[in-house]
Amino acid sequence: GYAKNKAVHQSHGKFLCFLDADDIMLPTRVQKQYNLAVYNHNAIVGSRFRREPADSTLRYTRWANGLTPAQLTMQIYTSNGPTVVMPTWFIHRSVFNRVGGFSEAGAGTPEDLIFFYNHLRKEGSIIRHDEELLVYRYHPNATTFSIHEETIWDLRVKEIQERVLGLWESFTIWNAGKQGRKFFRSLLPENQEKVTAFCDVDVKKIGSFYTYEESWKKIKPKVPIIHFKEAKPPLIICMKMELTDGVFEANLASVNLKEGIDYFHFS
């Protein structure tokens, strides 16, 4: 965060184009993103990217490059992080100033995600140029992998509680397994009370209850587990995509729900 902030403060242009040292900009990137940013001073303008090596992080690459314009602001709570990757960011300087720069809390801080969330809280928009304008290199020692998973989890939970759950009177958690239960335990007590059910496909779980034994309450919260077709929206989906050979995706499509209204992904 410190290095990026210092670079911005020492620069003078109206627009800021970010790039990590190990990535490669394609020749027309600046012009094409400028053409969008010049009319969208309140936006983070990203782009699709080409991964190198090509067979690394295939699911992540398909997710990031395949999001619809609407999903750029709906799928912001997943473990994938910002819906446009930071090395593709192109912004008007006013975006940086309004957010107040990147966190300088030091190693292990998800500074890009914090900036991204702060931008959205200030009514900022997200735009993606749909051409591949960056070669995004993967290597196992990247800074991204030095950030503790629990730090990102806590940040995501905080954000979805403030932006989504605080507006709902009740909701269902899709996934009665490990991820769904962890999500429930991570919620503030007032949001735990809004959970009407877990839903699942596992016949061994359906019809039973999840009891939150670690609760400070004398009467422990007890949440029923139902079949997903019986679940009433809205829902928080704690299932990762592309891990069930299309079964989960087909189940979700079968209930005819609208993303961003009836459900949000948290996975």
Indicate if 135 and 42 belong to the same structural domain.
yes
What is the pLDDT, as a whole number, of residue 250? 97
Q: What pLDDT is recorded for position 60?
A: 95
Query: Which residues neighbour 66 within 8 Å (Cβ) at sequence distance 6 or greater?
Result: none
Q: Is 123 exposed, middle or buried (0-12, 13-18, 19+ CB in 10 A)?
A: exposed
Same domain, 98 and 216: no
Whether residues 140 and 210 fall in one domain:
no
Instruction: Select from 264, 241, 244 the least CA-distant residue to 62.
Output: 241
pLDDT attached to residue 140: 75
Residue 183: CB atoms within 10 A of its CB come to 22
Q: Is 154 within the bounds of a domain?
A: no
Domain that holds residue 123: 2-146
User: Do 135 and 260 belong to one domain?
Assistant: no
Which CATH number fits the domain that encloses residue 35?
Answer: 3.90.550.10
For residue 141, the model assigns a pLDDT of 67
Domain CATH number, residue 233: 3.40.50
> What was the pLDDT predicted at 220?
87
Q: Which residues contact 92 (CB under 8 A, 6 or more apart)?
A: 14, 15, 16, 37, 40, 41, 42, 43
The gap from C-alpha 84 to its chain's centroid, in whole angstroms, comes to 10
Coil, strand or helix at 225: strand
- What is the number of structural domains in the chain? 2
> Which portions of the chain are predicted below pLDDT 50?
none
pLDDT for position 148 = 86
Q: What pLDDT, on the 0 to 100 scale, is given for residue 213? A: 85
